[in-house]
Structure 1
Amino acid sequence: MNLNIFEALRISHTLQRALADQLTATSGDTPERQRLFRDLCQELAAHETAEERCFYMPLMGHDAAVDTARHGIAEHHEMDEMVEELAELDMSSPTWLAKARALQRKLNHHLDEEEQKFFQLGGKVLSAAQKKALAKEYEAEFTTQRVHA
Structure 2
Amino acid sequence: MAKTDDQNVVELLLSQHTQIKDLFGQLSKAQGDRKRELFEDLVRLLAVHETAEEIVVHPTARREIDKGDSVVEARLHEESEAKQALAELHDLGVDHPDFDAKLAQLAKDVVDHADHEERDEFPQLRAKLPEERLRRMAGALRIAESTAPTRPHAMAPESAVANILAGPPIAVFDRVRDAVRDWTRQHR
TMscore range, shorter length: 0.7 to 0.9
Do the aligned partners of residues 94 and 48 (structure 1) sit closer, same or farther apart at CA in structure 2, a change above 3 Å counting? same
Cα deviation for residue 48 of structure 1 reads 0.6
The alpha-carbon deviation at position 117 of structure 1 amounts to: 2.0
SS at match of 1:145: coil
RCO higher in 1 or 2 (8 Å CA, sep ≥ 6)? 1
Counterpart of 1:51 (choices 37, 53, 56) is 53
d(CA) in 1 for partners of 2:66, 2:86:
31
Q: Indicate which of 11, 18, 34 corresponds to 2:15.
A: 11
1:113-146, CA deviations, whole angstroms, 9 ceiling, x for partnerless residues?
A: 1112211122233233321211111122223337
More helix by share: 1
2:180 corresponding residue in structure 1: none
Taking a change above 3 Å as real, the CA distance of residues 40 and 77 of structure 1, as seen in their structure-2 partners, is: same
1:22–1:63 CA distance, 2 compared to 1 (3 A) = closer
With over 3 angstroms needed to count, the CA separation of the structure-2 counterparts of 1:52 and 1:8, relative to structure 1, is same
Worse-superposed segment, 119-128 or 42-51: 119-128
1:138 is matched with which residue?
141
User: Which of 37, 61, 69 does residue 35 from structure 1 map onto?
Assistant: 37
Paired amino acid for 1:34 = R
Q: Is the 1:43–1:146 contact (alpha carbons within 8 Å) kept by the matching residues of 2? A: no
TM-score of the two chains, using structure 2 as the length reference: 0.71
1:77 aligned residue: 80
- CA–CA distance in 2 between the matches of 1:90 and 1:126? 42
How far off its partner does 1:90 sit? 4.8
Q: Counterpart amino acid of 1:60?
A: R
Tell me the distance in 2 between the aligned counterparts of 1:54 and 1:15: 20
| 3-state SS of 2:7 partner | coil
Counterparts of 2:13 and 2:147 in 1: how far apart (Å)?
Answer: 15
Return closer, same or farther for 1:90/1:3 CA change in 2, 3 Å cut-off. closer
Give the equivalent residue in structure 1 for 2:63. Answer: 61
Q: Which runs of 5+ in 1 are unaligned?
A: none
TM-score by length of 1: 0.87
Establish whether residue 114 from structure 1 lines up as the match of residue 117 from structure 2. Answer: yes
Further displaced range: 95-104 or 85-94? 85-94
CA contact (8 A) 1:17 1:108 kept: yes
One-letter amino acid of the structure 1 residue matched with residue 140 of structure 2: E
Judged with a 3 Å threshold, the aligned counterparts in structure 2 of structure 1 residues 41 and 105 are, in CA distance, closer, same or farther, namely same
Contact 1:59 1:125 in 2 (8 A): no
